[in-house]
Amino acid sequence: MSKVEEKKLEKYRKLLDAAYELAEHKELVSISIDEIVGRAGVAKGTFYLNFKDKYDLISKIILDRVCKFMNEERLKKHSLPPSAPIKEHIELLVGEVMKFLKSNMTLTKLIDKNVHTCVNAVIENRNGDFAEIYELIGDGLRNLGFTAEEVNAKLYLLFDMIVSSCCNALIRKNPLSPDRVCSQLTDIITCFYTGASLYKKSTEVAI
């Protein structure tokens, strides 16, 4: 990377970080571009060299942060042997998503207003440890006989429910606490999983 390109990238990062830091104290929507560039220490025009507008910036912040999550050691460290019961894998995933969001409340507030931006970003860019656990759950469903397309659809909706419910619990606490949400989500997904296996078997039988 040339020196010029490096400098450009540095400014991009500074803007991303400045915005995130400001979002810790105020809603990003009500933070002005002036404040962001002021904190980043760049000229106002530079903002528009990097982002179309504030909403573009928000998308890019979310993408940046969730990519980090997916490579985090945390999923690996606690990770289970692939042979562990599916319920434990679900519990691990749900629990780690919640923990991650809990320790990044600023990000959580951003995601809460942009759930689908986040879900799409995660699924389209999945990699690292997250990708592994994601595939594992998918494999289970595939083994039950669902087509690849059905598996994707189900994973998408389930992951959407996880993200949306975790954010809601952390922000509004209400009507369910984060812990309750974790256990209920695990419950629901496990029941679904169990039911799915039955459902498939009976379908097969029916045929």
Residues binding DNA (CB under 7 A): 3-5, 7-8, 11, 30-34, 42-49, 53-54
Rank residues 4 and 205 by Cβ distance to DNA and give the closer one. 4
Instruction: Tell me how far, at minimum, the Cβ of 171 lies from a second copy, in Å.
Output: 8
Contact partner at residue 4 from DNA, a second copy, none, CB < 5 to 8 Å by partner kind: DNA
Give the one entry of DNA, a second copy, none that residue 45 binds, where binding means its C-beta sits below a cut-off of 5 to 8 angstroms depending on kind. DNA
Task: CB nearer to a second copy: give 16 or 158.
Answer: 158
CA 29 to chain centre: 20
Q: How long a stretch of residues is the chain?
A: 207
Other Cβ atoms less than 10 A from the Cβ of 183: the count is 15
Residues that bind a second copy (CB under 8 A): 113, 115-116, 120, 123, 150, 152-154, 156-158, 160-161, 164-165, 168, 172, 175-176, 180-181, 184-185, 187-199
Instruction: Pick between residue 17 and residue 187 the one whose CB is nearest to a second copy.
Output: 187
- Nearest-approach distance from CB 176 to DNA, in angstroms: 31
What CA–CA distance (Å, rounded) separates 196 from 144?
8
Tokens at 52, concatenated: 């179309």
CB of 22 to a second copy, least distance (A): 20
Q: Which is nearer to DNA, 35 or 160 (CB)?
A: 35
Q: Which does 99 bind (CB under 5 to 8 A by kind): a second copy, DNA, none?
A: none
Q: Which is nearer to DNA, 56 or 139 (CB)?
A: 56
| Residue 31: CB minimum distance to DNA, A | 7
Sequence-ordered alpha helix ranges (H) in the chain: 3-23, 33-40, 44-50, 54-70, 73-77, 86-102, 105-112, 115-124, 128-143, 148-172, 178-206
Cα(77)–Cα(45) distance, integer angstroms = 44
Task: From 94, 101, 135, select the one nearest 115 (Cα to Cα).
Answer: 101
CB 22 within 8 A of CB 54: no
Q: List strand residue ranges (DSSP E) for 32-186, in order.
A: none
